[in-house]
Chains A and B, each alone.
Chain A
């Protein structure tokens, strides 16, 4: 990892996590029909394990659609993100040839190939505004580059740059 520009890795990963998770928590409360679009496509690996894996308080879900359906019947939720931190997980998570319009070279386009591990801590108001129960939560995300994402203009450029690959949510208080 040392051979890559550390400053770039830090800024790109932090910005990607901030943008995606800001939008994600907004979607959880306001546009739940978009929730599935935050998750990577379901993919089975040779070892039999599949992504994405979403664990919500010990309940395992295996597709973004499942998460969306769960949230579509959720009562009111309002998330207050109080802290956020993230690291680059793997700078070359996306194979170079998979970068849309990329150079295809092994050490290039890192800013579009890196995966991220992010942690969020905060509180969530449930059921109803102001009066509903208030819980503390902790959530961990692994974000991977969206292989569909293109630069420039057009519908592919509008896509999210990173998608949720793995996720773990827990009430902590």
Chain B
């Protein structure tokens, strides 16, 4: 990043942009005069508009001011510190501001040297820009008025309400009748004549020193910016940067500011500087250099070795910064001894860190997974059906046949006096997106009176009344519900999803084990067609979810302890289909396939043979063959010779 490199990148940028002039913030005002918008506050120091506005040079006034603000030792800048400008508390207070640079305007031939039209010009543009004056878009609700004015030599002094000064600051640098005007005063930063005329040298000097410094410290080949051992840099010492604590503390932020100004885009910055070393800087914490995190958020490699960090808390400001950091060096810091387990914390801070102090801490795959769009980490799998002696399976087969056929008989077979049943309707369930179910009018008349949806049923009375117990109650309720036809469990199993796990603590009907005995928890999702509707309405296709707790007891030895039935609009069965693993294998396979490129068929056979015989991955197998002249015996000998030195990365 030498000055010439910077210039080049600036030229390139202009070239890419084609007609850069088109994009400049230049425009004409209503009089046809060319107007240049003043630099926006938030772009100072990095604003391409400001720099190109001055002829394409990167030596911008804004940058100078920033440098001065950071490293200057006097009040030359005159501006307030960065941050919200202090607001005038007294609404009525007035401020005087000075306008220069207008004396030779085209309007200067008029009797008042163009002062009245200049004031009109100022008022007009101030009115357009102030939020004070703007309401409902662009029309000025209120106009900026200059309260009084006087001319001294080539200076025009105008008095305006203090709260409007910031508005005038915005039109600083505008072109009035062919002349660029400069506005100065309290609360207006920049373009002050003191800087532009009186003492431009120090700013240029310091900036030049910084740029030379960056040029010396940047290695374009390795994209490395070496900011190590800053205090011992001869040229920085020569200009006394480190003589006072003030300039010392301002040095790094100013340096970052200058770095920042070299780049037009974040991408350009990212591509130019991948690594930074701050080694051997005697830092006890990152406070003096913390701005590195803002300037280079995409850094890949960072060397902090040889500093005085006692613990990870010395770097807490960079926690979760540098989201793309791959390699961090912290060797020769006291924390290595003073904070056992510091590595773990560092790993958590930087999710893509692969190397720490030169040692691998994450694999490529682990990092690659992070770069995948964040997806649900588990795939939908088929049923988890943990049956025991087909108890659950037999029950399910008989249950749905019975429910579609003879519900009373079913209730008497599987339900005893303590069995509980309830139904709940989810009237808001998502419907099958692939069908026209979306638009089908749902009617819940046949179910809703019995629905025990606790989300809606809030009173204890109905909550008790809509839970049914014992075969009589249950079969009575069932008889009030539409008759059903479920899909065949034998031939249409894809329309079902059935999970079953053992369930302990199921009530023991013998009373011998009050804390319960073993049973099953069965969850079933599926669909059915109504074959009749108690309400006499049309029949519909529905989806349902049904949970059973099975336990010992009842006439068959297997009884339903609990039966919870959820009915909802038809939602299809696509969700039950197990998901296929995808992408991951492909991603992992890419580099392997890339290694195969450019090999002859014979070499491919050799490669496969070496990989098979040694267990090494293709990359290392190929390197082994490369060094062994693609001879199988030599390659295997080479492998044996180096085997002890090979790390886990060599093997697949």
Contact = CB atoms under 8 A, between A and B. Distances in A.
Interface stretch (A30-38, A54-62, A148-156): A54-62
A102 to B, nearest CB: 14
Interface in B429-481: 429-433, 452-456, 460, 463-464, 467
Contacts of A158: none
Contacts of B514: 92, 95, 106
A168 B385 CA distance: 12
A42 interface: no
Given A45-B504, A127-B374, A172 B564 contact: no
Contacts of A2: 417-418
Interface in A66-111: 70, 73-75, 81-95, 106
Q: Which of B377, B504, B505 has the most CB of A within 10 A?
A: B504
B418 A168 contact: no
Contact of A7 (B464, B505, B521): B464
A119 to B, nearest CB: 5
Interface stretch (B14-22, B296-304, B305-313, B565-573): B565-573
B254 interface: no
Interface string B516-534: 1010010101000000000
B383 A89 contact: no
A20 B367 CA distance: 36
Interface string B415-435: 001101010111111111100
B429 A173 contact: yes
Interface residues of A, number: 62
Contacts of B467: 10, 87
Contacts of A84: 424, 453-455
Contacts of A93: 505, 515-516
Q: Which of A51, A84, A138, A144 has the most CB of B within 10 A?
A: A138
Interface in B192-246: none
A146 interface: no
Main secondary structure of the interface of A (DSSP, over half): strand
A87 B562 contact: yes
A99 to B, nearest CB: 12
B505 A144 contact: yes
A119 B561 CA distance: 15
A173 B518 contact: no
B499 A117 contact: no
B543 interface: yes
Given A75-B374, A119-B545, A168-B523, A85 B453 contact: yes
B376 interface: yes
Contacts of B590: none
Contact of B571 (A45, A89, A91, A172): A172
Nearest to B466: A85
A10 B469 CA distance: 12
Nearest to B377: A73
A32 to B, nearest CB: 13
A115 interface: yes
B16 to A, nearest CB: 33
A18 B460 contact: no
B423 to A, nearest CB: 8
Interface string A108-152: 000000010101011100110000001110101010100000000
Given A84-B454, A87-B562, A122-B426, A138 B545 contact: yes
B568 A121 contact: yes
Nearest to B369: A73
Contact of B521 (A60, A73, A166): A166
Interface string B341-385: 000000000000000000000000000000000111111111110
Contacts of B427: 82
A147 to B, nearest CB: 11
B521 A142 contact: yes
B632 interface: no
B430 A85 contact: no
Given A81-B455, A93-B516, A138-B545, A171 B575 contact: yes
Contact of B453 (A49, A75, A83): A83
A53 B426 contact: no
Interface in B501-518: 501-507, 514-516, 518
Interface in A1-60: 1-2, 6-7, 10-11, 14, 17-18, 45, 47, 49, 51, 53, 55-60
Which 5 pairs show the lowest CB-CB distances between chains A and B? A58-B381, A173-B571, A138-B545, A83-B426, A136-B430
20 contacts: A7-B464, A55-B384, A82-B426, A83-B456, A84-B454, A84-B455, A85-B424, A85-B564, A87-B420, A90-B505, A94-B515, A121-B429, A127-B375, A136-B429, A168-B499, A168-B521, A170-B545, A172-B525, A173-B431, A173-B432
Given A49-B502, A83-B566, A119-B564, 10 more contacts: A57-B380, A58-B499, A82-B428, A83-B455, A87-B422, A87-B562, A89-B505, A115-B505, A117-B547, A170-B545
